[in-house]
Amino acid sequence: MLKIHSSLFVSLNGLVPLFQVIDKSFGFDSAVEEAQRAINAAHVEAGSADNGIGLVKLMGRYSGFIAHYATLASRDVDCCLIPESPFYLEGEGGLFKYIEKRLKENGHMVIVVAEGAGQKLIAENMKEMGQDASGNALLLDVGLWLSQKINEHFKKNKTTINLKYIDPTYMIRAIPSNASDNVYCTLLAHSVVHGAMAGYTGFTVGQVNGRHCYIPFYRITEKQNKVSITDRMWARLLSSTNQPSFLSKQDVDDAKVEDERTAKLLDGSPSNPKVEDKVASSNSNGVK
């Protein structure tokens, strides 16, 4: 019998819908639920002081799904920063101006930032960071960097703020899975056993449009999923937080091109050249 333990110790990158095909990966709901608790704590801290700012850094090295959904679930977040949506600090429409506006209106605010956000902004401070034990590129801590920049800005303007920085990364990694993920993992386990007993190989199981499907490995690893900053879910977040988009027209155009390219990838044949050659060779030999 194949059994998945009820306590999911999921990797930092395994918590988000990383893959371009499946709806979500296991552990995502649990991660969002625990991230929301960190946001609630930041909101309490921020609201307990004049000009209080609660800054929460969440997982999201290359995509901001956890930050995105935790922000929507919380309803207390005033600004969400993710890798897919560039932002800038200075000038009209920048982050500093928005923070000043929210502090003037509410007296406090909460900022959620995914760990991969703002890397271009801090690129001038980056040296060759190498890779971690998992082969991921080492990134500078955007949470600490952003905290420092915000403090420096308001100190220069002779405004007193009270900033609290919260990094719940390892708390989220180590939690037991919630009921939703327990059910999801049970269904995945059942599906993969049925596929193996049916004689399938080289496949994995995932939920696609609400249905559990057998997916070839090459399709599941072709490309990482990204938050689309031109779709309705991101628009809902902007409406919830009232934050500026921070986007230029060029940023929006580039995002649309990427969305169209992804749609073609999903609707068409595999983009992996080796796979295409193998399929073509099989067809020419009369193999179906």
Q: Give me the phi and psi of 199, to 5 degrees please.
A: 100, 5
Longest dimension (CA), the chain: 77
Helix (H, G, I), strand (E, B) or coil at 56: strand
In a domain? residue 205: no
Residue % of the chain over a pLDDT of 90: 49
Q: In CATH, what number is assigned to the domain containing residue 167?
A: 3.40.50.460
Query: Based on the structure, what is the number of domains in the chain?
Result: 1
Q: 83, 63 in Cβ contact below 8 A?
A: yes
In a domain? residue 39: yes
For 208-249, how does the pLDDT look when each residue is reduced to its tens digit (9 = 90+)? 888 889 988 888 777 778 888 888 999 999 999 999 988 766
User: How many whole angstroms separate alpha carbon 38 and alpha carbon 67?
Assistant: 11
272: number of Cβ within 10 Å: 14
In a domain? residue 86: yes
DSSP state of 210: T
Helix (H, G, I), strand (E, B) or coil at 132: coil
Question: From its phi and psi, is residue 242 left (phi > 0), alpha (psi between -120 and 50) or beta?
Answer: left
In a domain? residue 103: yes
In a domain? residue 188: no
DSSP state of 14: G
Given a cut of 80, whether residue 262 has pLDDT beyond it is: no
Long-range contacts of 231-234 (CB under 8 A, 24+ apart): 231/259, 233/68, 233/72, 234/68, 234/85
Residues 132, 83, 32: CA angle, nearest 5 degrees:
85
Range of the domain at 156: 28-175+231-252
In a domain? residue 204: no
Q: Bigger pLDDT: 258 or 99?
A: 99
| 106-110, 173-177, 223-227, 280-284: which is most confident | 106-110
Q: Give me the phi and psi of 118, to 5 degrees please.
A: 70, 15
Question: From its phi and psi, is residue 275 left (phi > 0), alpha (psi between -120 and 50) or beta?
Answer: alpha
Residue 17, pLDDT score: 42
For 12-61, how does the pLDDT look when each residue is reduced to its tens digit (9 = 90+)? 344 434 456 788 888 999 999 999 999 999 999 999 999 999 999 999 88
**Total count of residues recorded for the chain:** 288
Q: Bigger pLDDT: 15 or 151?
A: 151
Q: How far is CA 185 from the centre of its chain?
A: 21
Residue 224, pLDDT score: 77
User: How many whole angstroms separate alpha carbon 56 and alpha carbon 163?
Assistant: 11
Q: Give me the phi and psi of 58, to 5 degrees please.
A: -115, 165
Residue 220, pLDDT score: 76
In a domain? residue 111: yes
Q: Bigger pLDDT: 141 or 154?
A: 154
In a domain? residue 144: yes
For 273-284, how does the pLDDT look when each residue is reduced to its tens digit (9 = 90+)? 554 454 445 444
